[in-house]
Each structure stands twice: as C-alpha cells, then as structure tokens.
Amino acid sequence: MSATAQSTRTEIGHVHLMVADLERSIRFYTDVLGFEPAGRVGGVIAFLTSGDYHHRIGLNTRGSRNGAPPAGSTGLFHFAILYPDREALAAAVRMVLAAGIPVDGARDHGVSEAVYVRDPDGIGVELYRDRPRDEWPKSDDGSIALVNDPLDLDELLLVQD
C-alpha cells in the first residue's frame, strides 16, 4: 500500500488531555462546548463524545491533578474541534462567550474559519468550520492557498440557524 493510499484513510481519532481538575474540565467540554459524557475510569479519567464515536476527548488527572499549565515549553499548541457548518460554529462561539471565556483570536484561513480559546487548564482549543472544497482558494499551480487573515467575529456571531 502506498503512503498516499494509506494517508487518505488515516485521521485523528481523539485527543487525550492531562488536566488539573477533572470535574472542572468535564463541565467546560460538556456545558460550554456540547460534548457528551461517554464513560469514566474511577475519579481520574473521563471520556467525552459527540455522535456515535466511542470518545473524542479523554480527560486525565493521573499525574496532573492540581497541576499548573505549562508555559514556554514544547508540547500541544492546540487541538481543533470541527463544526459541521457556519451556523454551528457561531452557536459554539456564542456559548463560549456566554460562559465568560475569552476569545484568543479569530482567523480566516481561506479553507476554514477558526476561533481560538483556552480550556480551564490553558490548553488551546480551535473551534472551526471548513468551507466547501469548491470554495477553497487555489494558487496558480492549483495547490491550496492557505491564508491567515482576520475573521470578523462580530459578523460570525450574527449567523443564526
């Protein structure tokens, strides 16, 4: 099997995060971002899901309970949560703002629109939606022309279902 054939079937299945306070993180990912509880291992690990997948997010306090967020180190920059459309992204951002969570940034990448926040442990979370593929910007050679332009957050928040 070629690497190209393999890569077309390979995707990220879930993210497992080390957090300081399990219950606080569960509340953030369920109450604010809309994930659903999928299971627990004692009082140290929780699994959250969306749809019919076994889990999208694992939260773990083994070795990190009451820990401080890392600063100025290598590691996870952010992970991304894909919403099905612009309306769902706008609804998610409204929930974030209603919960008093600050937005770190909002960017238009040409292929997608993204809003960046931090979870209670300071982990970066990108909330985004992809544009339809036929709207992706292309370079002269036909490759995808990614950009990093500002996203008008006020205009996004006007989008309704």
Q: Which domains does the chain have, with CATH numbers?
A: 1-65 (3.10.180.10), 78-161 (3.10.180.10)
**What is the predicted pLDDT for the residue at 63?**
84
Determine the average pLDDT of the residues in 26-43: 94
3-state secondary structure of 103: coil
Q: Which positions ≥6 away from 74 have C-beta within 8 Å?
A: none
The per-residue pLDDT for 20 is: 94
Instruction: Give the pLDDT confidence of 77-133 residue by residue, as tens digits.
Output: 899 999 999 999 999 999 999 999 999 999 999 999 999 999 999 999 999 999 999
Q: Which tokens in the block code for residue 125?
A: 């979370």
Taking the complete model, does pTM exceed 0.75, yes or no? yes
pLDDT of the residue at 1: 46
